[in-house]
Amino acid sequence: MASYIISSALLSPQKTFEGTFPEEPITTESLYLLCAEPDYKQIIPPVRLRRMSHILKMGLATSYLCINESKVKPDSVIVGTGQGCTGDLENFMRACSEGPEELLSPIPFINSGHNTLAGQIAMASQIKGYNMTYLQEAASLESALSDAMLLLEEGTSECTLVGAIDEFSALSFKIFDRDQYWRKEAVNNLDLLKAEKPGAIMGEGAGFFCISNRPDRQNIELVASESKMNFGTEASVKWVTDLLNQYNLTTNDIDMLFVGRKGDLLTDDTSYAGIEQLFPTATIAAYKHLSGEFPTVQSVALWMAVKVLSGQQLPDYATLKAGTRTAKTILLYNNDLSTENVIIVRKG
């Protein structure tokens, strides 16, 4: 049984919450990009909003938007998050270390569970079926999508809301910085992909997708969502080629390729050049200069792919190489050095 993406919503450092590609991207000179947030008071009831941390506001608002856009109410919720509710976790741990433990505020503790968002969405939107959270670093979104496809396949669900979310936190930034993960100097995000220096810039975002067992008018099929450990360029190329065979596709079928180039002088070419060469005539698109890097960042590419398949034009600022064909089948490839992910979507 096929799975179809019948609605999508994205909160990112760009003005994507309005549902279309922004005409001009937001540019900033920084080591990280933060979401262009809406006025949450207009979206989330004040009673709920009061105790919500940053990531919960991001996730709940984006889930509302996605559900509102869908013609079918989801019966299940699956969330993928690489780092979970780190902001509240940090607040809770800081309070533990700084103050007497018997005087800890309960709210950061309640909100610091990784599955808090999935629970909040279920309560807010009265989705009483399957509720799951995947916390698998860079494979969290892809695992959530894969689980949704299995749910639809076995008939447990008719429409599943799949979300991907990660928030910026100063502590996470510092921890990854010890591993030389980030740029050392602020960079204009639109210049990032020139990859003149080592390191990426951090970002954050929330992407939600309603996945149904029946197509809507747009007829956008979610063909595959796969992850594996990264064993180097040759193995990556073989893996992607084998995946295409597995889904009865060839490299010629891929009209557009989204790559997770992040502007890192040391790793971008080794991670992506081999995959790009597999598809010499495809359009190649990039997105991390718009969103920054975070574990579930491929949700940004998936939202963009859905918009392209819905008829919107891929903006020049996201195009690395223009192809000649209209995009009907799109492959998303991301490689975070330890894990690599592939998502394939196509117009039915």
Partner 1 sequence: MTQEELIEQLKDQIIKALSLEDITPADIDADAPLFGEGLGLDSIDAIELILLLEKEYGIKVEDPRQRREILASVRTMAKFIEDNGKA
φ, ψ for residue 219 (rounded to 5)?
55, 55
Q: Which is nearer to partner 1, 104 or 278 (CB)?
A: 104
Ranges of H-type helices in 112-256: 116-125, 140-154, 170-177, 233-246
Q: Which of 101, 106, 229, 316 binds partner 1 (CB under 8 A)?
A: 106
Q: Which of 107, 135, 190, 278 binds partner 1 (CB under 8 A)?
A: 107
Residue closer to partner 1, measured from CB, 98 or 185: 98
What sign does the CA torsion over 229, 189, 200, 30 have?
Answer: negative
Q: Which stretch binds partner 1 (CB under 8 A): 5-13, 105-113, 124-132, 221-229?
A: 105-113
**87, 53 in Cβ contact below 8 A?**
yes
Q: Is 229 in the site for partner 1 (CB under 8 A)?
A: no
Q: What proportions of the chain, in percent to the nearest 5, are helix, strand and coil? A: 40, 25, 40
Least Å from the CB of residue 43 to partner 1: 15
Q: At what angle do helices 86-98 and 170-177 cross, to 10 degrees?
A: 90
Residue 94 contacts partner 1 per CB under 8 A = no
Calpha distance 129→141 (Å, rounded): 19
Q: Is 68 in the site for partner 1 (CB under 8 A)?
A: no
Total number of residues that touch partner 1 (CB under 8 A) = 11
Q: Which CB atom, from 105 or from 326, has the smaller least distance to partner 1?
A: 105
Are 54 and 167 a contacting pair, CB within 8 Å? yes
Comparing CB distances to partner 1, the nearer of 56 and 161 is 56
Of 45 and 348, nearer to partner 1 (C-beta) is: 45
Q: Are 256 and 282 in contact (CB under 8 A)?
A: yes
How large is the C-alpha radius of gyration of the chain? 19
CA distance 333 to 105: 42
Taking alpha carbons only, the member of 243, 239, 204 closest to residue 335 is 239
Distances (CA, A) of 32 to 167, 227, 286: 11, 26, 17
Shortest distance, CB of residue 88 to partner 1, whole angstroms? 13
Q: Which residues are 333's β-sheet partners?
A: 259, 342
Shortest Å distance, C-beta 47 to partner 1: 8
Interacting residues with partner 1 between 31 and 50 (CB under 8 A): 41, 46-47, 50
Give, in order, the Cα–Cα distances in Å from 165 to each of 28, 60, 306.
22, 10, 18
Our finding on whether 237 is near partner 1 (CB under 8 A) is: no
Nearer to partner 1, 48 or 328 (CB): 48
With respect to partner 1, which residue has the nearer C-beta, 109 or 173? 109
- In the bound state with partner 1, the residue whose beta carbon lies nearer, of 52 and 290, is 52
Nearer to partner 1, 53 or 227 (CB): 53
Q: With contact defined as beta carbons under 8 Å apart, do 193 and 284 qualify?
A: no
Beta strands 205-212 and 3-11 are: antiparallel
Q: x-or-dash pattern for partner 1, window 165-204, by CB under 8 A? A: ----------------------------------------
Q: Toward partner 1, which CB reaches closer, 105 or 281?
A: 105
Query: Is residue 110 near partner 1 by the rule CB under 8 A?
Result: yes
Q: How far is the CB of 39 from partner 1 (least distance, A)?
A: 12
105 binds partner 1 (CB under 8 A): yes
Contact (Cβ atoms closer than 8 angstroms) between residue 157 and residue 76: yes
Smallest separation, CB 35 to partner 1 (Å): 19
Does residue 217 belong to the site contacting partner 1 (CB under 8 A)?
no
User: Interface with partner 1 by CB under 8 A: which range of 104-112, 138-146, 209-217, 277-285?
Assistant: 104-112
Q: Are 31 and 182 in contact (CB under 8 A)?
A: yes
Residues that bind partner 1 (CB under 8 A): 41, 46-47, 50-51, 103-107, 110
